[in-house]
């Protein structure tokens, strides 16, 4: 399939990155509420948790924070290397993330939403790996889905300096992340065993939108020719 430049898919790309931000919100809610009280996609938060544990002698969450950070780093490296020569192969990167999240969903369902300590740590690492990979995919889509502090910083800087091409982009991403966390929290309370299906479902939606967008863009290019 011919890879399409991102400027040819403005609407599709915005929808994809919003779905991924919602996924990140859902993943972090799942990790924090169900897998040890740490985050899958917020390295800063995990470093603070680890530092607090060391400083106060509360060592219970340090291991989880370290594992989540290691998983996130592994995802960054894997997605960077696997697609370093094909950075625009977005569908492949999304498919890989979906596969990891599907494994997590299967493990969560098998444990009926209450995995044991070892299984919980494994699921946490997989979630963090998926978020690291997603961060690379978002970077290649010229967006942010997990690092909202950086997005707010960049958006405000661009707004003040008059460089912002899309001043609403940051608001869309933040709103999507919060919406994903809200939806996941509601599902967690009402149907805990099914909450892990939400992140995979959101990435599946992103894949469909991206696929349709690439096909539409390819048709437009053929028409122009």
Tell me the pLDDT tens digit for each residue of 187-223.
999 999 999 999 999 999 999 999 998 888 777 777 7
Of 12-16, 69-73, 220-224, the least confident: 220-224
Question: Residue 9 pLDDT > 70, yes or no?
Answer: no
How does pLDDT run across 115-170, given as a tens digit for each residue? 999 999 999 999 999 999 999 999 999 999 998 888 888 888 888 887 766 778 88
Q: Which residue has the higher pLDDT, 55 or 159?
A: 55
Question: Residue 10 pLDDT > 60, yes or no?
Answer: no
Is 71 part of any domain?
A: yes
Is 203 part of any domain?
A: yes
Q: What is the pLDDT of residue 93?
A: 97
Is 11 part of any domain?
A: no
pTM of the model: 0.90
Is 2 part of any domain?
A: no
Interhelix angle 10-34/197-224, nearest 10 degrees: 170
Backbone phi and psi for residue 5, each to the nearest 5 degrees, phi listed first: -60, 145
Is 205 part of any domain?
A: yes
Is 213 part of any domain?
A: yes
**Euclidean distance between the first and final Cα of the chain, in Å?**
17
Range of the domain at 201: 16-224
Is 9 part of any domain?
A: no
Q: Tokens for 190?
A: 């009402």
Domain total of the chain: 1
Helix H or strand E encompassing 78: helix 62-82
Interhelix angle 10-34/117-140, nearest 10 degrees: 160
């Amino acid at each position: 399939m011919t890879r399409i430049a991102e400027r040819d898919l403005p609407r599709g790309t915005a929808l994809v990155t919003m779905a991924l931000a919602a996924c990140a919100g859902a993943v972090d809610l799942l990790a924090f509420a169900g897998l040890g009280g740490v985050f899958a996609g917020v390295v800063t938060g995990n470093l603070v948790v680890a530092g607090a544990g060391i400083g106060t002698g509360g060592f219970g969450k340090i291991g989880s924070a370290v594992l989540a950070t290691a998983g996130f780093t592994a995802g960054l490296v894997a997605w960077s290397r696997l697609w370093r020569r094909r950075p625009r192969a977005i569908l492949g990167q999304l498919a890989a993330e979906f596969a990891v999240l599907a494994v997590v969903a299967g493990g969560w369902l098998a444990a009926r939403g209450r995995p044991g300590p070892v299984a919980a740590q494994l699921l946490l690492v997989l979630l963090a790996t998926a978020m690291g990979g997603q961060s690379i995919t978002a970077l290649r889509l010229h967006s942010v889905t997990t690092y909202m502090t950086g997005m707010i910083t960049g958006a405000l800087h661009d707004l003040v300096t008059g460089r912002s091409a899309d001043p609403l982009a940051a608001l869309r991403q933040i709103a999507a992340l919060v919406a994903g966390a809200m939806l996941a929290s509601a599902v967690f309370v009402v149907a805990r065993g099914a909450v892990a299906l939400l992140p995979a479902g959101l990435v599946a939606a992103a894949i469909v939108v991206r696929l349709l967008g690439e096909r539409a863009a390819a048709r437009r290019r053929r028409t122009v020719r």
